[in-house]
Amino acid sequence: MVTTPLKPSNHPLADIIDRLEAGGALLPDSEDNLLEVVGVLKSYGVVLDAYWRNLIYISEHQFLELFPFFKYFDGDVSFNKLLKHWWHDRFNYEFAEYCMKAMFWHGGGGLDTYLDSPEFLELVQKATNEKLKNNLPIKGLAKVFPDFLPEQVRQLCYYSALGQFWKVMSKMFLDLSDSYDQGTIRSIPDVVEFIRAALVAAANEPITYAVEIGDRTYDLIPKSAGLTFLMDTGVPYINAVFFRSFPFMGTVSYNAQARQISSDQERFNYGALYADPLPVGGAGIPPTLLMQDLRHNLPPYLHELYQRSLRGEEDLRVRICVSFQKSMFCVTTAAMLGLMPHAIDTIDAKEQQINRKYLEGWMDRLIGSRLPNVQVCDV
């Protein structure tokens, strides 16, 4: 077997490639980085637990409801809860929908392909016929616009698929926090390996979706569709939410003549790994909703770390956003390693070269991200 060492990479992010090849992560290993990542992922695990439950509730119990006024109540509607909702004393489920719509719009993966298949359209026809059998206005609308109902059901499929994806991720992040508390997670590479192993373990879990209408259950994504957790929800999620997403409304013009947004969807770089944390807290900035939810669920040790920073509580949401981006670079590292063509520690020169090319491809996408900014722990 040939074991000639690889020549140093000429890539602008060669130092990060070297670190990955040596068993490291996109994020440097330090005590503060470890505390930030685990702490914010613990909070995120709690938040995702609420998010996935609501997404599943909407997909299963608000199926083709024209006016889903109480979709954020998870079936528990009371006057006290309504007051809290108006006072905004609740989880910001709008952010979950924002991520769902990013996945729905960008597409990709087996789920996107399946939702355009004749098999899916046949199942949609059966479910919508039963759901709307007594709704003459909508049935008439569907005849005039035959793509209207299938498109609504496609979106509901993304509600369900993202909910199922986040259900796994929520447990993963909370288990990671427990392992950290028990002393078995001691470094950023430990975090990455924990997430990578969990992703691989869940990779082939089936993604399915069915709704109850009357006394019957109607499959929309049957198990026979062959959709799975990692390739059909995880990878499209990373692509849509971590990399592409949408420009924040109010920060750039959506007017086509202004040309402030690329007309090429493939060139969108507005995702979580690219977003400048500084606008967080401003009106119309979707991550503000997530940072507010994370703020309410921070573990004490992470809150104390933020209080020791120069501005203390004054820029708390921004600090949380920075930590969140650091954690997402760890999740990205885990996904990268999980999809590597060959083992990262291979000694075969040909396999090493294939891995190097693979990593350089990732670095090409990340070169304009916040990756260079998180190389120094600055809390």
User: Mean of the pLDDT values across residues 204-231?
Assistant: 96
| Separation in Å, CA 179 to CA 39, 157, 173, 174, 331 | 12, 33, 10, 9, 16
CA–CA gap between residue 301 and residue 25 (Å, rounded): 23
**Beta-bridge partner residues of 219:** 210
Provide the residue ranges of all domains of the chain, joining segments of one domain with +.
Answer: 14-65+91-375
Detail the DSSP E strand segments found in the chain.
Answer: 209-213, 216-221
CA–CA gap between residue 45 and residue 211 (Å, rounded): 27
pLDDT of residue 1: 46
For residue 100, the one-letter residue type is M
What pLDDT digit, counting tens, does each position of 226-278 carry? 999 999 999 999 999 999 998 888 788 888 888 888 888 878 888 999 988 88
Please compute, for residue 225, the number of CA atoms within 13 A of its CA located in the half-sphere on the CB side: 30
pTM: 0.93
The answer to whether the CB of 263 falls within 8 A of the CB of 286 is no
The answer to whether the CB of 127 falls within 8 A of the CB of 121 is no
Max mean pLDDT among 30-34, 277-281, 282-286 falls in: 30-34
Locate tokens 């309504």: which residue?
A: 82
CA–CA gap between residue 29 and residue 36 (Å, rounded): 11
What pLDDT digit, counting tens, does each position of 326-355 carry? 999 999 999 999 999 999 988 899 999 999
Long-range CB pairs of 368-372, under 8 A, 24+ apart, other chains included = 368/269, 368/274, 369/269, 369/273, 369/274, 370/273, 370/274, 370/275, 370/276, 370/277, 370/325, 371/13, 371/16, 371/26, 371/273, 371/329, 372/13
Residue 204: strand, helix, or coil = coil
CA–CA gap between residue 26 and residue 331 (Å, rounded): 10
